[in-house]
Amino acid sequence: MTDDANHALRWPFTKGHGTQNDFVLLPDPDGTLDLTPLRVRALADRHAGLGADGVIRVMRTAASDEPDVQALAESAQWFMDYRNADGSAAQMCGNGTRVFAAYLRREGLIDADADEFDIATRAGVKKIRVTADGYATNLGPWRVPHNEQLRDRGFDTLVAVRGQAPLPALSLDLGNPHAVVALPETLDLETLDLSVAPELNPTLAQGSNVELVQPVGPGQLRMRVFERGVGETRSCGTGAAAAALALMLWSGQPQENEDWQVEVPGGTLFVSALPGGEVELSGPAELVADGEVTLVG
C-alpha cells in the first residue's frame, strides 16, 4: 500500500474463484482505499488487468461509509464490498461469499476454529457454514417481486436472447435481481448466444441477472447465466439459487429441505430450500494467487 515515485498506488491482492466465477480480493480493513469504478474496471480487465468477474474489498463493517452497511457492524465484523467488473456495486454475490469466507479464514480474520460465522453484505448479514468441500451460505429470504402476475401464470417477464423469440421468465429477488428463463427442450442451452445482454420486457431500472435453465432430472438442472454488470460468467451463486427456486415454484411450492444440484459451465453448486422461506447455497471456494498490483486512476 505505497505511493511510488510515479504516484502509482501499489496494493496487495488475492485472486480466487468459486466454480470459476472469479474475483480479485483487496484487503482494506479500514476503508482507506478509493475504489473507483475506473480502478475496478482496470483490475477486472482480462487483457490489461488481473482479470475477474468481480472485485471484493475486504473491509471492517464499521469502516463502511454506507449507513445501511454500518448498521450491521454489531452482527458481523467483516463486510464483503462487492463490485461487478463494470465498476458497479452489487448487493450480493453468492459465489463471492464463499471465496470471501475462505479468505477471512486463511488470513486469520475470524476464529480458525469457528465452523459458522456471519459476514455483512449490502443485502444484509449472511451466515456462513464450513462444509467438507467448501462453504455453505444461507442467502436468507428470497422473494418473487411480481407476485400478482405469478399467481396467474408462473411467469412475469419476457426475455429475448439474441437470435431467439422472447421466452417467458420469472423474476426472483435473492438480495439482487434475477430473471429465470425456462428453456424449452427444443433449444440447445450450449449454443445460445449470450455474447450480448438478453433483453427484458418489462425492463428493470436496476437491471437484472438472467439465468437460462433446463431440468436434467429430479433435483438437477443445467444453467447458463448472463450477469448484470459483467456479461456471461461461468457460474453465479445467487443465480443458481434463483434457478432452483424457480423450478421448485413451477412444480408447486418449494418444500423444506428440497435439494437441487446446479450444473454450470464452471462446476457444480448445491441449493437447499431451508425452513422459513430461506435458501442455502453451497460449493467450493479456491484462493489461487497472491501478489501486489498497481491501481490506476
Ligand X SMILES: N[C@@H](CCC[C@H](N)C(=O)O)C(=O)O
Q: Which is closer to ligand X, CB of 157 or CB of 209?
A: 209
Q: Which amino acid is at 233?
A: T
Residue appearing with cell numbers 469457528? 114
Residue 201 marked ligand-binding: no
Distance CA 113, CA 166 (A): 50
Considering only residues 162 to 181 of the shown chain, the ones binding ligand X according to CB under 6 A are: 176
Q: Which is closer to ligand X, CB of 156 or CB of 232?
A: 232
The contact pattern for ligand X, residues 42-71, with x = CB under 6 A and - = no contact, is ------------x-----------------
Residue from 13, 17, 21, 69 touching ligand X (CB under 6 A): that is: 21
Residue from 26, 90, 192, 221 touching ligand X (CB under 6 A): that is: 90
Q: Which amino acid is at 140?
A: G
Q: Which is closer to ligand X, CB of 66 or CB of 292?
A: 66
Do the bridges between strand 259-264 and strand 220-227 make them parallel or antiparallel, or are there none, so unpaired? parallel
Q: CA torsion 247→284→265→251, rounded to 10°? A: -10
Spatial contact of 102 and 96, defined as CB atoms under 8 Å apart:
no
Q: Which is closer to ligand X, CB of 87 or CB of 94?
A: 94
Residue 227 marked ligand-binding: yes
The helix-helix angle for 94-106 and 237-250 (nearest 10°) equals 140
101 binds ligand X (CB under 6 A): no
Provide, for the chain, the percentages of residues in helix, strand and coil under a 3-state DSSP scheme, each rounded to the nearest 5: 20, 45, 40
Q: Which is closer to ligand X, CB of 59 or CB of 262?
A: 262
Residue 238 marked ligand-binding: yes
User: What is the CA 289 to chain-centroid distance, rounded?
Assistant: 20
Distances (CA, A) of 263 to 19, 31, 47, 51, 160: 10, 36, 28, 23, 22
Residue 283 marked ligand-binding: no
Stretch of 91-99, 127-135, 194-202, 271-279 lying at the interface with ligand X (CB under 6 A)? 91-99
Considering only residues 189 to 248 of the shown chain, the ones binding ligand X according to CB under 6 A are: 209, 227-230, 236-239
Residue 84 marked ligand-binding: yes
Task: State the catalytic residues.
Answer: 93, 236
CA within 13 Å, CB half, 190? 1
Residue from 84, 121, 137, 138 touching ligand X (CB under 6 A): that is: 84
Residue from 14, 61, 95, 171 touching ligand X (CB under 6 A): that is: 95
Q: Which helix (H) or strand (E) holds 225?
A: strand 220-227
93 binds ligand X (CB under 6 A): yes
90: helix, coil or strand?
coil
Distance CA 157, CA 190 (A): 22
Q: Minimum distance between the CB of residue 159 and ligand X, rounded to whole angstroms?
A: 16
Residues in contact with ligand X by the rule CB under 6 A: 21, 54, 84, 90, 93-96, 176, 209, 227-230, 236-239
Q: Which residues are annotated as a binding site for substrate?
A: 21, 84, 94-95, 176, 209, 227-228, 237-238
